[in-house]
Amino acid sequence: MSRTYLSHVELRNFRTFGRFRLDIAPGPGLTLMVGPNGLGKSSFFDGIEWCLSGRIRRFADHVGRLSESAYLTRRDAEMPNSHVVSLSFDAGEAFTRSANSAPDAARLVAALKTDGWGEIKDLAAYLNLTHFLGQAAQQRFTSRNKNDQWEALKGPSGIDRLEEVRLALRGPATTAAFRRRLALQAAEVELAEQALSRWGDDSARLAALRASAQASGTPSAEAIERDLEALETACIEAGLDTAAAWKMGDRTRTLIALRERMDDERARALEGQRQVERLHLLAMRYESLAAAADTDGAAADAARETVGAATAALSQAALASRSVEKRVATEAESVAQAKTVLRRSTELAEAIEATAELATSVARLAERRDALSVSLGETAATCAATAEALAAARARQVARRMLQERRGVDEGVVARAGRLAALTLEAQTAEGRAIRAREDAMAAATSAEALRGHIDGLRVELTAQEADLATARRRASEMADAIATVAKHIGEHDEHCPVCATEFAAGALKILAEAASRGQNEELTRQAQKVEAIRRSLEAATAALATADESSVRADAARVEADAAGKALANARAEVAMLLGAELGDDLAALADRRLAATAAELSDVEADIASTDASIAELAAAAEDAERRHEALRAERDGIERDIAAAEKRIGELGQTLGGEALAAEPDALTARIEADRQALAKSEGRYSAVQVELAAALAVETTTRQRLDAVDAARTQAEKAIAGARTERQNLTRDWTAAGIAGEPSGRGAAEHGDALARRLAGIDGLLAEADRIARALQELAALSELRTLEGRMAEKAEQDGMRDPSQHERTLQQRLDGARSARRATERTQEAVNAYTVQLKKRVDRFSVEFLMPLNGLIEDFNKTLLSTPGETVQFSADTAVNRTALGMQLRYADEVDNSRYDTGLAPQLVLSEGQMAANGFSILCAASVAYKWSNWRALLLDDPLQHNDIVHAAAFADVMRNLVEYEGYQLLMSSHDRAEGEFLFRKFDAAGLPCTMVTLTAPSRDGVLHEPPRHNVAASKLLARPLAEAS
């Protein structure tokens, strides 16, 4: 298989590019485009995709009816539709696509497809599956819908031809054609069956009609007409309505209408006969209700008179009870008044007694209050004395605590004053160090100036020597290439130089060429050693300069330390002087000692006073609290007594206001006699009240009895009126039913008997009319049968002509043969469809093997790439094929690396529901690599990756570099890749350069009105050799 490689890309006014030309190393290697987002890295890959396929997949859902110029031509281009993309391959093929021209599709496919691969109908689908990886989600294989994925896999898998055959044999068009043909043939069979069946039915009917015509005579239409007129006359005489029947016009319909009238009339007569017995019972019931209906009204009048008498008696009883009730009310009022008088007298006696008791209590309470006032004066004096003693003791305690605190402060001041000497010594020492460090820094500064001049000289010399080394390397490389080229044409025994034709001894020419090659290598080595010696000298001088610079830093640090020590000493002296209230120049230590001694002496005096006191503060506090508690108890008791006295005096005043002063002054004996007289008056009133109540009870009993009798009489009257009304209503209903039966007058047994005789005569007359109608109907049937015979003979003659009429069985055999032919044709079509279905089942089995022979290896490669590339290869997207007899559907499912997880979790879920966008993108990259390795359909083994690591930490960068490097080194891949991260690009460049693989890096720098700006391409040695080879071959 011959390989082809992209060697040249040119974009003019395409997207962000103005005029961009890039020569690519035509062989396995890496071409890397780096730069910030938005400059045109994706547009570079869009241009290649557009040139090869004529469309850009990531724009497919958005362009609609837009012209290409609207989104492909550079915005600041001078002319519309000026976008052009050109690609050249090392085999000499070149393709250019513009707004007005496109490369030949067949030539494109021929240049890219291997000779052993089958037909390729959609080049874009192949490229998107095995070559291109875009940033957009819709460009990833995992983000496409199932149909797009299947269309992309059909071609590389080789199953597309088999799918075409399956679709042709079992597709909708073929299935519909079979269905239509079978439906048409079934209709033909059904028509033939119907024709045969109708001919048999017609033959049988013809024989029956001919036999009937021979057995009976032929009736006359005129005779039937006369019989109908006679029947109509008889119906009119019988009282039937025949007007609507004669409007029919047709004899049969007229006879049917007359027959319906007769049947209706006969049914009514029969119904009347069935009702005769009921009419007899109705008459008997009507006669039995005559007494209950009270036709003369005597019973109703007697009931009304009885109710009137009972109503008068009730009125008299009610008047008597109302009179007694008034007397009861009068006596009840007398009793209430007597009770009020008695209660007033009793309350007056009780108030006089209570007033006397309250006056006695007030006098007793006043004596107790006076005694408590004396005790309160004594306890108040005791409380004052104990409180004064307690305050003095507490004051001494406070003074001691204050002196103790002041002693602590003085001790701290003494300690701080003692540390001043140490701080002074430390400040002096730091100052000495700072002075010495400054002297050392001044000496180092003098030597640093000399070192800087020496370093500048070394750098100039190093630059010159590196330039000489680069020149020597280039010269050595060119010489080596030239000598190698010459050496190819020199054999072991050649004697003539192929360049200058000089003659040498045998073998000497070969030795001279090898010596010249070694000489070039020795000169290059000496130059490299010289550069390395200068670099070591430069490093030593730089280290010495750094040491000199550090001396200045150390001097500055020592000065800062000395200043800090001096400041700490000044702050400490100022703080101690402030605490002592002294000047900075005083002897602070001596002042601190004297203040501490004075505080200690004062504290000793206060403690002596406290020790001389007999009672402690706790005892004084307890005594004060006890005196205060006794004082408060006495005061509370006195306040309670005063409240009781006030309440008693208030109650005495209220009693005086309620009963009056004169009543309170009444004598007790007079009050007692008055109360006894009031009680006797109350007893008399209550006796009269009880007697009147007994009389009222008797009057109410009479009234109740009279009312009950009135209710009973009135209920009897109401019941009698209801019974009379019911009897009268029933007699009216019976009369209505009698009249509805068609009998005049009131119901009676004789009238019912006469009605039954009339109905029997009516029924006999109608039966005679029906018999005549049946005779005329038979005559009409015979006449209709003769007409049907003529019509049937004419219809059968049209179908089978005269021969068929003479022998109907012969035409029946012809129809049977036609039916057999239609059935045979349908069976042939069914057998054909069964054969096609059986063949498509065989094709389905072959398609089923597709999952094993094609998808399983692809799934294995996907899993291998995931294990190598991904930092967390826990889940892998796998493909499965769901085959039917007429179609194949592709599906994605999950596979877990852990077998336990793979059995626990539902692997049938769509991967989009489980994996993140980063994981889906990483799996999409693995699928691209797996498909590219598995389906080797193209001579151009390449991967075009648009920033594959952007926003994706799932793919390990180092693993990615190793995999890509292996694809280049071992599989001969040409990689075109972009990255937004320059450091990432440098990393990949170093990886490929270290492996000796060709690598080119193009850096996009900034946008401009003339197109994106970029640095010149940077090629490593291997890429430069590949780029120089075509020039050398051309020269």
Phi-psi sector, 946: left (phi>0), alpha (psi -120 to 50), beta? beta
Confidence band of 608 (pLDDT split at 50, 70, 90): confident
Domain ranges for the chain: 1-131+944-1035, 221-288+748-795
Sign of CA pseudo-dihedral 359, 364, 368, 371 = positive
- pLDDT-based confidence at residue 513 (cuts at 50, 70, 90): low
Cβ contact 22:8 at 8 Å:
yes
CA distance 426 to 428: 5
- Kindly report, residue by residue over 387-429, the tens digit of the pLDDT: 777 777 777 777 777 877 777 777 777 777 777 777 778 878 8
Amino acid at residue number 97: R
At 890 the pLDDT is 43
Phi, psi dihedrals of residue 175, rounded to the nearest 5°:
-60, -40
Query: Which burial class, exposed, middle or buried, applies to 390 when counting CB atoms under 10 A from its CB (0-12, 13-18, 19+)?
Result: buried
Tell me if residue 217 falls in helix, strand or coil.
coil
Residue that wins the pLDDT comparison between 50 and 504: 50
Give the CA distances from residue 552 to residues 431, 445, 449, in Å, rounded to whole numbers and listed in that order.
Answer: 16, 8, 13
* Of residues 215 and 875, more confidently modeled: 875
**pLDDT in the model for residue 482:** 61
The secondary element (H helix, E strand) that includes residue 29 is strand 29-34
Give the range among 280-294, 638-652, 935-949 with minimum mean pLDDT: 280-294
Give the pLDDT band of residue 13 (cuts 50, 70, 90).
very high
Question: Three-state secondary structure along 252-286?
Answer: HHHHHHHHHHHHHHHHHHHHHHHHHHHHHHHHHHH
SS (H, E, C) 491-509: CCCCCECCCCCCECCCCHH
Q: Are 616 and 447 within 8 A, CB to CB?
A: no
What rounded mean pLDDT belongs to the chain?
74
Secondary structure class of 702 (helix, strand, coil):
helix
pLDDT of 49 strictly over 80: yes
pLDDT for residue 617: 66
Query: pLDDT tens for residues 425-476?
Result: 887 888 888 788 788 778 777 777 787 788 888 888 888 888 887 787 777 6
More confident residue, 1013 or 636: 1013
Residue corresponding to tokens 């048409």:
184
Q: Identify the band that residue 886 occupies on the pLDDT scale cut at 50, 70 and 90.
A: very low
Identity at 535, one-letter amino acid code: R
Q: Is residue 1028 scored above 90 in pLDDT?
A: no
Single-letter residue type at 377: G
CA atoms within 13 A on the CB side of 57: 26
Least confident residue range of 370-384, 577-591, 798-812, 987-1001: 798-812
* 553 has pLDDT over 70: yes
Whether residue 88 contacts residue 7, with contact meaning beta carbons closer than 8 Å, is answered with yes
**CB proximity list for 18: less than 8 A, separation 6 or greater:** 12, 74, 77, 1008, 1010, 1011, 1012
Mean pLDDT confidence for 698-711: 78
Helix (H) or strand (E) holding 945: strand 942-945
Question: What pLDDT digit, counting tens, does each position of 329-372 carry?
Answer: 887 787 788 777 777 777 676 667 767 777 777 777 777 777 77
Least confident of 230-244, 758-772, 971-985: 230-244
Return the structure tokens found at 849: 């093997």
Averaged pLDDT, 491-511: 61
Indicate the length of the chain as a whole number. 1035
Query: pLDDT for 212-261, tens place per residue?
Result: 655 555 555 666 667 666 767 777 766 666 655 544 456 667 777 777 77
φ/ψ of 136, rounded to 5, equals: -65, 145
Cα four-point dihedral sign 903, 905, 907, 908 = positive
* C-alpha dist (Å) from residue 456 to 179, 465, 533: 96, 14, 16
Asked if pLDDT for residue 1017 goes beyond 80, the answer is: yes
Work out the end-to-end distance of the chain between its first and last CA atoms, rounded to an integer number of angstroms: 28
pLDDT at 149: 47
Looking at domain 1-131+944-1035, which CATH architecture does it have?
3-Layer(aba) Sandwich (3.40)
Task: Encode 480-506: b = buried (16+ Cβ within 10 Å), e = exposed.
Answer: beebeeebeebeeebeebeeeeeeeee
Percent of the chain with pLDDT over 70: 69
Say if residue 869's pLDDT is above 80.
Answer: no
Identify the H or E element spanning 699: helix 668-740
Distance, C-alpha 71 to centroid of its chain: 37
Q: Is the pLDDT of residue 262 over 70?
A: yes
Cβ pair 752, 285 in contact under 8 A: no
Nearest Cα to Cα of residue 219 among 763, 740, 777, 660: 777
pLDDT number for residue 999: 96
Q: What is the pLDDT of residue 308?
A: 78
Measured between alpha carbons, how far is 832 from 815 in angstroms, rounded to an integer?
26
- Please give the share of the chain, as a percent, with pLDDT higher than 90: 10
**CB-side neighbour CA atoms (13 Å) of 865:** 28
Looking at residue 478, its pLDDT comes to 65
pTM of model > 0.85: no
Amino acid symbol at 938: S
pLDDT digits (tens, 9 = 90+) for 72-115: 999 888 888 899 999 999 888 899 999 889 999 889 998 888 88
The pLDDT, as a whole number, for residue 805 is 62
Look at residue 493 in the predicted model and tell me its pLDDT. 60
- For 564-578, give the secondary structure using H, E and C: HHHHHHHHHHHHHHH
